[in-house]
């Protein structure tokens, strides 16, 4: 072999002066890769979650070519590989059922192959955490390139946002204020370019988290998918990964406690998705960073909503980018951000020093926020001993303290069947409860937690109610929805014991969620009436999921996937 072969990981394949080494090299020749490129230079895997069945990621095949240009330019060899992709809009029963599966695909694909560093191409909600979790369990030099948001939706002169505007129009249809024929034009108008949801849904929130954690280049979170600067970012990321490999900067060097703290604080200022809590807990578990729900509550306390992006605000990601994006928000957070935290190219301090804000109405100063609180509150009490989350930017102020009678739905099918039934008996004070929709219960923890307001109440003009569930909700949704209740009903959490008419008390300032029945009565119900539901699936991957998924307060990762299993090349035979 070429004497330039050093001790790179890929040399354990391509540097072998043996028939095995010849085989490793030979089959790459069939793609026209000459011997001169297998000379010990950094081999960069491009882990691509491209799929036409994941519409938000359908342009990632094209974006990969720009990453390759950068890798070649910096003297590396890029090799692109596909992983299972998760598209929110088409997959059933829910993409969350498959997040951990994709993380396994990513982890094993990276470790089993001759690569020295990896670029993660991701976009739609679950692909970002899944790829980050898998890569974190290998710990090679890694950089994230997000697909970027779609352009602003435009419909009959109005600006409309993915998810957020759809949910309010569907409520209008349910309340009889709009017809499906009137809504039909939205279909093309709301998804009019490549990219992911252009609200601050989970995809935009997670792309911003990757930037704030130092795993991506500046502006990764916000550049629209079709803006040529997204391609330039991909190109520059290709150059950057080669540099990371040369300097041997591993993912674990970036994923410090500070990285998680910075990210969670940013998420609060963005009014970002509650799903960020679950995904960051899972990523932290892979790298061994101590992080729990109490940390999340503490880090989010008193951080105002600064970014005027739906659903917390009124505008969209395209304008957010033009206003200055993530660096501008992080700069405005001032001392709340640890500037010494490392990034793929330097430090967070380098990234945000002098970061301009071009529109103070879009990215507000701390002294003039959109709302006083933008983050995630963690509630506890006898209904959620291990915690539940609530997006503060979405809460109706009048519901911050509330006492009302429970109205319980046993699973998503029961909810769908009865929610619009005129005999439901709901009042504006009712506390709507959906259970059996947690990680184990559904299984897969669907985004069903933004329980619809019953049609009869919608027609009366009721816009928000207290809702409680062990499910998640879309990052594009709002409302006083208490989510991720742990332990979930399907494992015997107290949520399983609530009966219609029980009084539920919410006190957000005290972070309290309470079922007003005695401990004795609760224990009696548990002993007399609770039975573990039988598994929904027998056999196959979903069976594995049911057996090993942890509760939401642990990030809903599989117990056996926690931790980093390293990047040592597996043995050859
Ligand atoms: Fe893919 Fe919203 S559906 S990001
Ligand atoms: Mg979503």
Kindly give the distance from the C-alpha atom of residue 271 to the centroid of ligand 2, in angstroms, as a whole number. Answer: 14
Give the binding-site residues of ligand 1, using a 6 Å CB cut-off: 56, 88-89, 124-125, 162, 196-197, 201, 203
Last residue in a domain, options 317, 352, 387: 352
CA 212 to chain centroid, in Å, comes to: 14
Specify whether 304 is located in the same domain as 449: no
Angle between helix axes 127-136 and 275-287 (nearest 10 degrees) is 10
Specify whether 431 is located in the same domain as 330: no
**556 in Cβ contact with 548 (< 8 Å):** no
ipTM of the shown complex: 0.94
Specify whether 183 is located in the same domain as 208: no
pLDDT in tens, the chain (573 residues): 444 466 899 999 999 999 999 999 999 999 999 999 999 999 999 999 999 999 999 999 999 999 999 999 999 999 999 999 999 999 999 999 999 999 999 999 999 999 999 999 999 999 999 999 999 999 999 999 999 999 999 999 999 999 999 999 999 999 899 999 999 999 999 999 999 999 999 999 999 999 999 999 999 999 999 999 999 999 999 999 999 999 999 999 999 999 999 999 999 999 999 999 999 999 999 999 999 999 999 999 989 999 999 999 999 999 999 999 999 999 999 999 999 999 999 999 999 999 999 999 999 999 999 999 999 999 999 999 999 999 999 999 999 999 999 999 999 999 999 999 999 999 999 999 999 999 999 999 999 999 999 999 999 999 999 999 999 999 999 999 999 999 999 999 999 999 999 999 999 999 999 999 999 999 999 999 899 999 999 999 999 999 999 999 999 999 999 999 999 999 988
Specify whether 309 is located in the same domain as 417: no
Pocket-testing residue among 53, 56, 166, 311, ligand 1, by greatest number of atoms within 8 A of Cβ: 56
Q: Which atom of ligand 1 is nearest to the CA of 55?
A: 1
Of 311, 241, 245, 248, the C-alpha closest to 274 is: 311
Number of domains in the chain: 3
Count the neighbouring beta carbons within 10 Å of the beta carbon of residue 503.
13
Kindly give the distance from the C-alpha atom of residue 35 to the centroid of ligand 1, in angstroms, as a whole number. Answer: 42
Specify whether 176 is located in the same domain as 34: no
- What is the spatial distance between Cα 95 and Cα 125, in angstroms, rounded to a whole number? 9
Specify whether 307 is located in the same domain as 432: no
- What is the spatial distance between Cα 439 and Cα 92, in angstroms, rounded to a whole number? 15
Which protein residue's CA is at the shortest distance from atom 1 of ligand 1? 124
Q: Which atom of ligand 1 is nearest to the CA of 474?
A: 2
Query: Residue 41: what pLDDT?
Result: 97
Read off the CATH number of the domain in which 436 is found: 3.50.30.80
In a domain, 162, yes or no: yes
**374 in Cβ contact with 271 (< 8 Å):** yes
Specify whether 149 is located in the same domain as 241: yes
Specify whether 108 is located in the same domain as 192: yes
Pocket-testing residue among 51, 128, 162, ligand 1, by greatest number of atoms within 8 A of Cβ: 162
Specify whether 90 is located in the same domain as 163: no
- What is the spatial distance between Cα 485 and Cα 293, in angstroms, rounded to a whole number? 12
Query: Residue 5: what pLDDT?
Result: 61
Domain that holds residue 447: 376-537
Spell out a b/e string for 241-255, using b for 16 or more CB atoms within 10 Å of the CB, else e.
bbbbbbeebbbbebb
Overall pTM > 0.95: yes
Specify whether 145 is located in the same domain as 161: no
In a domain, 220, yes or no: yes
Count the neighbouring beta carbons within 10 Å of the beta carbon of residue 417.
11
Last residue in a domain, options 163, 187, 211: 187
- What is the spatial distance between Cα 208 and Cα 344, in angstroms, rounded to a whole number? 15
- What is the spatial distance between Cα 478 and Cα 474, in angstroms, rounded to a whole number? 9
Specify whether 218 is located in the same domain as 167: no
- What is the spatial distance between Cα 162 and Cα 149, in angstroms, rounded to a whole number? 10
Specify whether 407 is located in the same domain as 338: no
Kindly give the distance from the C-alpha atom of residue 125 to the centroid of ligand 2, in angstroms, as a whole number. Answer: 6
Name the helix (H) or strand (E) containing 28. Answer: helix 19-29
């Amino acid at each position: 072999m070429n004497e330039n072969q050093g001790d790179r990981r890929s040399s354990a394949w391509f540097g072998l002066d043996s028939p095995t080494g010849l085989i490793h090299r030979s089959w790459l020749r069939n793609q026209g890769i000459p011997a001169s490129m297998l000379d010990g230079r950094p081999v960069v895997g491009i882990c691509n979650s491209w799929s036409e069945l994941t519409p938000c990621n359908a342009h990632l095949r094209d974006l990969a070519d720009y990453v390759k240009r950068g890798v070649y330019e910096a003297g590396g060899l890029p090799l692109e590989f596909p992983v299972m992709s998760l598209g929110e809009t088409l997959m059933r029963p829910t993409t969350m059922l498959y997040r951990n599966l994709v993380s396994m695909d990513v982890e094993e694909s990276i470790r089993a192959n001759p690569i020295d560093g990896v670029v993660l191409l991701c976009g739609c909600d679950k692909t970002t955490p899944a790829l980050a979790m898998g890569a974190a369990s290998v710990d090679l030099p890694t950089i994230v390139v997000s697909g970027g948001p779609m352009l602003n939706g435009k419909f009959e002169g109005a600006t409309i946002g993915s998810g957020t505007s759809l949910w309010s129009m569907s409520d209008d249809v349910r309340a009889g204020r709009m017809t499906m024929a009137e809504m039909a034009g939205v279909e093309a108008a709301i998804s009019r370019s490549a990219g992911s949801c252009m609200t601050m849904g989970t995809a935009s929130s997670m792309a911003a988290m990757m930037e704030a954690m130092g795993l991506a280049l500046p502006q990764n979170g916000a550049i629209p998918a079709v803006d040529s600067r997204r391609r330039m970012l991909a190109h520059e990321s290709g150059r950057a990964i080669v540099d990371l490999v040369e300097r041997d900067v591993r993912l674990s060097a970036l994923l410090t406690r500070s990285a998680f703290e910075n990210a969670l604080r940013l998420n609060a200022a963005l009014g970002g998705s509650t799903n960020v809590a679950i995904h960051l807990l899972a990523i932290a578990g892979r790298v061994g960073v101590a992080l729990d729900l109490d940390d999340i509550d503490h880090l989010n306390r008193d951080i105002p909503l600064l970014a005027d992006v739906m659903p917390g605000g009124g505008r969209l990601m395209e304008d957010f980018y033009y206003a200055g994006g993530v660096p501008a928000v992080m700069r405005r957070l001032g001392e709340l951000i640890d500037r010494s935290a490392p990034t793929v190219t330097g430090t967070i301090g380098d990234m945000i020093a002098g970061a301009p804000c071009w529109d103070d109405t879009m990215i507000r100063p701390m002294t003039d926020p959109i709302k006083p609180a933008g983050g995630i509150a963690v509630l506890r009490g006898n209904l959620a001993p291990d915690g539940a989350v609530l997006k503060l930017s979405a809460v109706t102020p009048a519901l911050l303290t509330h006492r009302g009678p429970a109205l319980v739905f046993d699973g998503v099918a029961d909810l769908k069947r009865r929610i619009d039934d005129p005999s439901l008996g709901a009042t504006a004070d009712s506390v709507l409860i959906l259970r059996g929709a947690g990680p184990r219960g559904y299984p897969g923890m669907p985004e069903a937690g933004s329980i619809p307001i019953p049609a009869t109440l919608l027609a009366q003009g009721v816009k928000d109610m207290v809702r409680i569930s062990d499910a998640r909700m879309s990052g594009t949704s709002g409302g006083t929805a208490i989510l991720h209740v742990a332990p979930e009903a399907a494992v015997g959490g107290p949520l399983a014991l609530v009966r219609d008419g029980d009084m539920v008390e919410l006190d957000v300032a005290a972070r309290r969620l309470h079922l007003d029945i005695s401990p004795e009565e609760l224990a009696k119900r548990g002993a007399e009436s609770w039975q573990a539901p039988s598994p929904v699936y027998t056999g196959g991957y979903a069976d594995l999921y049911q057996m090993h998924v942890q509760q939401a307060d642990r990030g809903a990762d599989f117990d056996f996937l926690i931790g980093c299993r390293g990047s040592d090349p597996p043995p050859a035979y």
